[in-house]
Amino acid sequence: MDKKTIRDIDVAGKTVLVRVDFNVPMKDEGKVITDDNRIVAALPTINYLLEHNPKAVVLFSHLGKIKTEEDKAKNNMAVVAPRLAELLGRDVKFVDATRGPKLEEAVKNAENGQVILVQNTRYEPGETKNDPELGKYWASLGDVFVEDAFGSVHRAHASTVGIPTNLKPAVAGFLLEKEIAYIGKAVSNPDRPLVAILGGSKVSSKIGVIENLLGIADKIIIGGGMMFTFAAAKGHKIGSSLVEEDKIELAKKYIEKGGDKLVLPVDSVVNTAFANEGDIKVVGEDVPDGYMGLDIGPKSVENIKKALEGAKTVIWNGPMGVFEMSNFANGTIEVCKALAALDGANTIIGGGDSAAAVKQLGFADQVSHISTGGGASLEYMEGKVLPGIAAVDDK
């Protein structure tokens, strides 16, 4: 990796500002955390810093979208502090401010590695605009910056880009380092054969990824709702299945360009309604009128297994069907099993729904890496320069 990490700097006696991703899912109007995975993912970096005697570790994160006062109330970062304290086994001071005397004094008076959690960065209107004054102000609070929020590095915000622009050294934490090592290597220097599996509902959200991977991957497997846009491009009937009419011509172009490299489904599991019960059956490449495709079929599963034989790197982004409904989860489950059975392959799950599927279906410990960033991992797979990574110092 060509970026500096926390191993490359001395933090003893220093105030370390860390951009973490504590954008956790919640219920009960923001009072209860339903999944603490993102907090757990930040622990290796925080613990490493604490072991190296900093004056303070100051944590910045956003939580949810903030457009109204109601949003502020239900996306208050206060809910994270007790859970973080429990996981760290030490006190975490929550500062209910994003700027001003309360925050400045908490940082100035901190000692012996005090962990400080700052209120939701998006309480500041200038955060998402990367307001230069805000980035400069936050940078003034510390001596060192650590970027460890992979889920946010595709956004040029004050906390991801503004701080490291104004504060050096700016280095990567362990979570960011891991994401760069896995996804970065997969798209820039993969062990071959490289197979990409792309699912989910829309071609439009994966255009850049398909474009980039057509030039990189040895095989690209298509599944999920977007398979019907490709089916329509091939002239098949798709019934009432999901389709992006305005992307059919683009799908034709991909089919032509991809040739044998592109593995498209040859059958699907259909139903008369978007529901777990109904007149469910397996059909070939044509979906009858009055039916919608909700999963890939058994022949498609076998074709995917064949395409994966001997693969050394696999990137998977997007489920094969509506896996939340048990009758349409089989395609996604079978892909999970196929990845788990690959010998010596680097298997990378690109965040978002595919990460949720792998965890929900019990395969999380049988793949090499599950990305913590949906949008960030997609943009990384497109070959884009992510602003939050670009802002980290080069080695």
- The residues carrying an active-site annotation are 38, 202, 352, 375
Q: 219 in helix, strand or coil?
A: strand
Q: What does the CA dihedral 84, 88, 90, 96 come to, rounded to 10 degrees?
A: -20
Q: How far is Cα 164 from Cα 155, in angstroms, rounded to an integer? A: 13
Residues comprising the binding site for substrate?
A: 21-23, 38, 62-65, 122, 155
Residue with tokens 């500096």: 4
* C-alpha dist (Å) from residue 46 to 56, 110, 181, 224, 360: 11, 16, 20, 38, 27
Alpha helix stretches (DSSP H) within 217-264? 227-233, 248-258
Comparing C-alpha atoms, which of 350, 352, 346, 342 is closest to residue 370? 350
Q: Mind giving me the DSSP string for 332-345?
A: HHHHHHHHHH-SS-
Comparing C-alpha atoms, which of 24, 29, 18, 93 is closest to residue 60? 18
| Terminal alpha carbon distance of the chain | 8
Residues comprising the binding site for (2R)-3-phosphoglycerate?
A: 38, 122, 155
385 secondary structure, DSSP code: P
Residues comprising the binding site?
A: 21-23, 38, 62-65, 122, 155, 206, 293, 324, 351-354
Q: How far is Cα 374 from Cα 329, in angstroms, rounded to an integer? A: 20
* C-alpha dist (Å) from residue 314 to 221, 233, 238, 333: 10, 26, 29, 16
Q: Mind giving me the DSSP string for 285-322?
A: SSBPTT-EEEEE-HHHHHHHHHHHTT-SEEEEES-SS-
Residue with tokens 């622009």: 165
Partners of 94 in the beta sheet? 117
